[in-house]
């Protein structure tokens, strides 16, 4: 990949550095995002793990909520754990606001507290065989709409899903050495950029930080 894509990582709080590292490992250029104007050059965005309530407070107070809603409606976005909660249309336990774009109902802390956190090996439809999944105080996707494609499950519940330009995981691929999920997302961003601008102009969209 010669033309490195610039992908934003929401950096209000949480494991944004781990995501930035994962993006760099698969050849993309990560860009930390803390203000609305920092979204402008990002061709895709990652909403990392962290505390979803904390994220929400910041989005409301820093005027990020509307610009982020607008951005995720039209740009490739990948949410892990708290990020997945932010993307969902409906959030339970407790009910809370969200960006409301992913047609799914997500229950927070559904597996219990930290002592119930776990590392599992699970099947996935991504090529390359079973995938390590790190669950930390993880949410559960209770149900999904018809446009949501399920890429992996745990005990019959989806854990990695895609809806057009959106990708969401209830686990933390950024904390595993396996980079397949990030590679898959970068591919989504590439395809999106190509379909939008035509592949010939992709070079121009590359931004140096």
- Contacts with other proteins by CB under 8 A lie at 11-18, 34, 49-51, 53-54, 57-58, 61, 81-82, 93-94, 108-109, 112-115, 117-119, 134, 136-137, 172, 175
Query: Smaller CB distance to other proteins: residue 91 or 101?
Result: 91
Distance from the Cα of residue 112 to its chain's centroid: 22
Q: Decide if 81 is catalytic.
A: yes
User: Residue by residue, what is the 3-state secondary structure of 16-35?
Assistant: HHHHHHHHHHCCCEEEEECC
Query: Smaller CB distance to other proteins: residue 13 or 206?
Result: 13
Q: What angle do CA 105, 20, 5 make, to 5 degrees?
A: 95
Q: Which of 19, 75, 165, 174 is catalytic?
A: 174
Query: Smaller CB distance to other proteins: residue 172 or 182?
Result: 172
Q: Decide if 70 is catalytic.
A: no
Q: How far is the CB of 156 from other proteins (least distance, A)?
A: 23
Query: Smaller CB distance to other proteins: residue 9 or 99?
Result: 9
Q: Decide if 84 is catalytic.
A: no
Q: Which of 19, 75, 81, 190 is catalytic?
A: 81
Q: Which of 84, 172, 182, 190 is catalytic?
A: 172
Rounded to 10 degrees, what is the CA torsion of 155, 160, 163, 165? 180
The token pair at 178 is: 């396996």
For residues 101 and 70, the answer to whether their CB atoms sit within 8 Å is no
The token pair at 87 is: 């993307």
Question: Which residues participate in catalysis according to the annotation?
Answer: 81, 172, 174
């Amino acid at each position: 990949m010669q033309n490195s894509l610039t992908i934003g990582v929401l950096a209000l709080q949480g494991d944004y550095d781990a995501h930035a590292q994962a993006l760099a490992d698969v050849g993309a250029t990560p860009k930390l995002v803390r203000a609305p104007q920092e979204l402008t050059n990002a061709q895709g965005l990652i909403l990392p793990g962290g505390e979803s309530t904390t994220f929400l407070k910041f989005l409301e107070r820093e005027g990020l909520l509307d610009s982020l809603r607008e951005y995720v409606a039209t740009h490739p976005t990948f949410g892990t754990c708290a990020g997945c909660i932010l993307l969902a249309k409906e959030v339970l336990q407790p009910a809370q606001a969200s960006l409301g774009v992913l047609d799914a109902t997500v229950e927070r802390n559904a597996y219990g507290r930290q002592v119930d956190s776990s590392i599992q090996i699970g099947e996935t439809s991504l090529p390359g065989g079973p995938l390590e999944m790190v669950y930390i105080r993880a949410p559960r996707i209770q149900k999904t709409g018809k446009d949501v494609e399920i890429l992996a499950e745990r005990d019959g519940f989806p854990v990695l899903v895609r809806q057009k330009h959106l990708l969401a995981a209830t686990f933390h691929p950024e904390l595993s050495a396996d980079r397949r999920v990030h590679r898959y997302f970068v591919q989504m961003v590439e395809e999106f950029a190509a379909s939008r601008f035509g592949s010939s102009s992709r070079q121009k969209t590359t931004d140096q930080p």
